[in-house]
C-alpha cells in the first residue's frame, strides 16, 4: 500500500474521512494515507474499528488519528473541527462519507426511520461541508501544497439517480446530496474550493451484506452490474484520491459514478 514519496499525490495534506472506520470510508482513508495525506478517521460508534484502521495505516507507514463525532450533531462536528485545527493547523480534504440505511416499505416507514437517515446522510454532509469550507476560506490558498484551496468529496450513490423502492429515505438523502454538492460547488468555486461526489454502486461492505450473502442473492445482484463483479472499497479509494489530487484540478460539480455500469440501465441490454 505504501508508495514512494515522489509519487504521493496528497503529500502534506490533511484529510478528514467521516465514517472512516468501516466499509467505503475505511477504503478511502487507507488510499489517501498511502498517497501521503495525514488522515483523520472519524467514527460515531465503532471506536475499535476506527483504531484498527488507524493502526493499519500506521503499519503501512502512513499517518492517522481517530476522532469520535456524530456528524448529524452540530456541536460534535464543531468540536471535531476545533480538534483538527488544534492538532494539524488546518484541513485540505473533506470526504463526506458517513451514511446509513434504515430500510422499510414506504407504507410502514416511521418518521423516526425517515429522519435518522436524512439527519446522518444529508444534514451530516451539510454540517461537515460547511465547517470544511469555512476552514478553507479562513486558511486561504496554499498553492505549494495543492492548486485548489480545498477539496470536498461527497459520498453519494447510484441511488442519487436510480429510484429505490423499499429505501425511500436513503434514495431521497442521496438525491439531496446531488444538489448539496452542485450548489456548493457553484457557490464555492470562486474561493477555489472544488466539490464533487462519488456515486458508488454495489461495493462489498457491511451496509449491503444482506443483499449478497447467499449465492442466489449475489447472482441476482450481479444481473444489475454489466461489468460483472461487485466492487471493493479500494475501487472507491482510488477514485477519491484522484478527485482530491491536483490531477482533477479542473473538475468540480460532478458525480463520478464508480459502479461497474449499474447506472447504464442493464435491464435494457437485451430488451426494450
- Which residues have a catalytic role annotated? 170
Asked if 137 and 91 touch (Cβ cutoff 8 Å), the reply is no
Q: Is position 192 an interface residue for ligand BGC (rule: CB under 6 A)?
A: no
Site size toward ligand BGC, by CB under 6 A: 9
The residue (of 84 and 225) whose beta carbon lies closer to ligand BGC is: 225
Q: Is position 161 an interface residue for ligand BGC (rule: CB under 6 A)?
A: no
User: Which residues from 100-129 bind ligand BGC, rule CB under 6 A?
Assistant: 101
Q: Is position 207 an interface residue for ligand BGC (rule: CB under 6 A)?
A: yes
The residue (of 76 and 218) whose beta carbon lies closer to ligand BGC is: 218
The residue (of 8 and 157) whose beta carbon lies closer to ligand BGC is: 157
Q: Least distance (Å) from ligand BGC to the CB of residue 194?
A: 23
3-class state of residue 73 by DSSP: coil
Cα dist from 263 to 119, 152, 157, 227, 267, whole Å: 26, 23, 10, 11, 10
Asked if 255 and 263 touch (Cβ cutoff 8 Å), the reply is no
Q: Is position 209 an interface residue for ligand BGC (rule: CB under 6 A)?
A: no
User: Which residues from 210-239 bind ligand BGC, rule CB under 6 A?
Assistant: 211
Q: Is position 158 an interface residue for ligand BGC (rule: CB under 6 A)?
A: yes
**Among 30, 92, 159, 182, contact with ligand BGC (rule: CB under 6 A):** 159
Q: Least distance (Å) from ligand BGC to the CB of residue 233?
A: 13
Burial of residue 198 (CB within 10 Å: 0-12, 13-18, 19+) is: buried
Q: Nearest-CB residue to ligand BGC?
A: 157
Backbone angles phi, psi at 201, to 5 degrees: -90, -135
Quote the CA–CA distance of 147 and 143 in Å, as a whole number. Answer: 5
The residue (of 130 and 212) whose beta carbon lies closer to ligand BGC is: 212
Q: Which three cell numbers stand for residue 100?
A: 446509513
Cβ neighbours of 175 (radius 10 Å): 17
| 98-134 exposure pattern, b = at least 16 Cβ within 10 A, e = fewer | bbbbbebeeeebeeeebeebbbbbbbbbbbbbebbbe
Q: Is position 208 an interface residue for ligand BGC (rule: CB under 6 A)?
A: yes
Site residues for ligand BGC per CB under 6 A = 101, 157-159, 201-202, 207-208, 211
Amino acid at each position: 500500500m505504501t508508495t514512494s514519496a515522489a509519487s504521493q499525490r496528497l503529500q502534506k495534506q490533511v484529510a478528514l474521512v467521516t465514517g472512516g472506520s468501516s466499509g467505503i470510508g475505511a477504503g478511502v482513508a487507507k488510499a489517501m494515507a498511502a498517497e501521503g495525506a495525514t488522515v483523520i478517521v472519524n467514527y460515531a460508534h465503532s471506536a475499535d474499528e476506527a483504531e484498527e484502521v488507524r493502526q493499519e495505516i500506521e503499519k503501512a507507514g502512513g499517518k492517522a488519528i481517530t476522532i469520535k463525532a456524530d456528524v448529524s450533531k452540530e456541536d460534535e462536528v464543531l468540536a471535531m473541527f476545533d480538534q483538527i485545527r488544534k492538532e494539524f493547523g488546518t484541513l485540505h480534504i473533506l470526504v463526506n462519507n458517513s451514511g446509513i440505511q434504515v430500510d422499510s416499505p414506504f407504507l410502514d416507514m416511521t418518521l423516526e426511520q425517515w429522519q435518522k437517515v436524512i439527519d446522518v446522510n444529508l444534514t451530516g454532509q451539510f454540517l461537515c461541508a460547511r465547517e470544511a469550507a469555512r476552514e478553507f476560506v479562513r486558511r486561504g490558498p496554499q498553492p505549494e501544497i495543492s492548486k485548489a484551496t480545498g477539496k470536498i468529496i461527497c459520498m453519494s450513490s447510484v441511488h442519487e439517480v436510480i429510484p429505490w423502492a423499499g429505501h425511500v429515505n436513503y434514495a431521497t438523502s442521496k438525491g439531496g446530496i446531488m444538489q448539496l454538492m452542485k450548489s456548493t460547488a457553484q457557490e464555492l468555486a470562486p474561493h477555489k474550493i472544488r466539490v464533487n461526489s462519488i456515486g458508488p454502486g454495489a461495493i462489498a461492505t457491511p451496509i449491503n451484506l444482506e443483499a449478497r450473502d447467499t449465492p442466489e442473492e449475489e447472482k441476482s445482484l450481479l444481473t444489475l452490474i454489466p461489468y460483472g463483479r461487485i466492487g471493493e472499497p479500494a475501487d472507491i479509494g482510488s477514485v477519491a484520491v484522484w478527485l482530491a489530487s491536483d490531477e482533477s484540478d479542473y473538475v468540480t460539480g460532478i458525480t463520478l459514478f464508480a459502479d461497474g455500469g449499474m447506472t447504464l440501465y442493464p435491464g435494457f441490454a437485451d430488451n426494450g
